[in-house]
Amino acid sequence: MRHYLDKLQSRGELVVVHKEVDPRFEAAAIARRLQSESKQAVLFPHVRGSALPVVMNVYSEHERLREIIRCGRKTFCERLGEEIALAATLGQGAWTDEPDERDEWCSGTLSDLPILTYHERDGGAYITSGIFLAKHPDSGVPNLSFHRSMKVSDGELRVRLGSTHDLARCQQAAERDGKPLEAAILVSAAPELFMAACVSLPPDASELALAAAIRGGPLRMRPCRTIDLSVPAAADIVIEGRILPNERRPEGPFGEFMGYYVEVGENHVFEVTHVGWRKGAVFHGLICGSKEDLRPLEAATAARIYQALKTQVPGVLDVSCRPTVMNTIIKIRKQYEGHGGHALLAAMGSHLDYNKFCVVVDEDVDIYDMEEVVWAFVTRGRADTRTMVVPNVPGFYRDPHKDHWGRLALDATRPWGREAEFERKRIPGEDTVDLAEYLGSQWPSA
């Protein structure tokens, strides 16, 4: 993380707030306001009550995610698919137990960390960017995943495990034997670890191997102090502990990624056994539902849907999930009448949690710009015959009132056989003109 922040600062993509800020609301308010007006990450060196700085807005831009996985001219979905395929071949060669003895580590408690409180009704301070590392008790396959963690005391966190999450399956396997599940929470891990943890792989695959593939070499690991796990050395802060079996306690409310509060629920208990951080560590704060939360999740979800579509439908060029993971946009090179409908049906079945609203567009539409997507739908044909409603289909797994049931799909492609009528108008030179040449000092980039 520290090396990555140095890179952002050298490119003018990191701003520093030198004023002391309150970890309760103030840091989050500044970061959220900055996201609406800038693409820069923000560093808070002085957070009340802690000696550690906080950084936010690190992964809020799609271009940074592309850079992390070295996309080049390829789409994010295509490139991530290559990395996932490579990870499957790495096995134990994905990591090495050779810690760097030069690393200086400090020990303390959760109270030493600048854990933030984000939203007005949040039940407490939350770790939102923490990557859980645990092994399945039966297979031994390590898993990386994100789960919100509410601080209750220096010895206890309360953690939300969704029923469809891999970590929940690991915990259930341990709980069947009446045993706790040992786990480590990594905060401010290297970018390749953060990106890998966003991806959902099959149960027999490891996100650690994916992180090694993205890194371009094996991960350096080091043993934990109080639990039988090794963790990546490229994590600034490590919280060791165990998820207790047959124990649920109140957690919440919490401002979730959909933009609403999740009320108090009976959730899992994480018993903290050790807290350590590298000298010079930075604490990564993340606002759930912000660009920094959604952009990585959207990108990873889009890549999963893309891989599924490529095996079923010809001509699929790219997929994006904008402006939320609940909505998927597919770009195709249309090859036959009804091609768009096939792509939509395949998309709806490719991820049953998230594909609530799907749109398919032609290859000349920017799928990262919802204005373009809506323009394509309203200008390229009838609204009534190109709209598909699928009723009474379950949606997001946490949905007791069925608010996310049903699917809506829009075919925003040109009518088959009439492509020439829908050729987009162009102004030659529009994309290459240098406005500074004409406006001089009046233009900001001059």
CATH of the domain at 331: 3.40.1670.10
Residue 110: alpha-carbon gap to chain centroid: 24
Same domain, 278 and 319: no
Residue 435 domain-assigned?
Answer: no
- With 80 as the cut, is the pLDDT of residue 398 above it? no
Q: Per-residue pLDDT averaged across 86-95, rounded?
A: 81
- Examine residue 242 and state whether it is found in any structural domain, yes or no: yes
- Do 149 and 251 have their domain in common? yes
> How confident is the prediction for the chain on average, in pLDDT?
91
169-178, 187-196, 330-339, 394-403: lowest mean pLDDT where? 394-403
Instruction: Check residue 100 and give its pLDDT.
Output: 60
DSSP state of 384: S
Q: How many structural domains compose the chain?
A: 2
**Span 375-384, pLDDT tens digits:** 999 999 888 9
Cβ 155 vs Cβ 271: under 8 Å: yes
Domain shared by 336 and 405, yes or no: yes
| Range(s) of the domain holding residue 345 | 312-418
Assess whether 255 and 141 both reside in one domain. yes
Domain membership flag for residue 403: yes
Sole residue written with tokens 């695959």: 205
Q: Which of 177, 179, 165, 174 is nearest to 140 (CA)?
A: 174
Residue 346, C-beta contacts closer than 8 angstroms, at least 6 positions apart:
308, 309, 312, 313
> Looking at the predicted structure, is the pLDDT value of residue 77 above 80?
yes
CATH no. for residue 193? 2.30.110.10
What average pLDDT score do residues 183-208 get?
Answer: 93
Say whether both 223 and 100 belong to one domain.
yes
Mean pLDDT, residues 68-84 taken together: 92
Q: Is residue 342 part of a domain?
A: yes
Of 223, 257, 291, the one marking the end of a domain is: 291
Domain match, 197 and 327 both: no
The pLDDT score that the predictor gives to residue 446 is 47
- Of 325 and 10, which is predicted with more confidence? 10
Residue 9 to residues 40, 155, 277, 291, 375: CA-CA distances in angstroms? 9, 36, 22, 20, 37
Same domain (yes/no): 97, 158: yes
Same domain, 366 and 274: no
pLDDT at residue 445, as a whole number: 59
**pLDDT at site 322:** 84
Q: Which of 22-26, 286-290, 419-423 has the highest mean pLDDT?
A: 22-26
Residue 406 confidence (pLDDT): 83
Q: 3-class SS at 91? A: helix
What are the pLDDT digits (tens) for 423-443?
Answer: 998 899 888 988 888 888 888
Confirm whether 301 is domain-assigned: no
My answer on whether 217 and 326 are in the same domain is: no
pLDDT per residue over 260-286, tens digit each?
898 999 999 999 999 999 999 999 999
Is 231's pLDDT higher than 90? yes
Residues 24 and 102 in one domain: yes
Provide CB contacts within 8 A for 349, sequence distance 6+.
355
pLDDT at 198: 93
Query: What average pLDDT score do residues 148-170 get?
Result: 92
| Residue 410: predicted pLDDT | 95
Same domain, 350 and 278: no
Question: Is 251 in the same domain as 136?
Answer: yes
Burial level of 281, CB count in 10 A (0-12/13-18/19+)?
Answer: buried
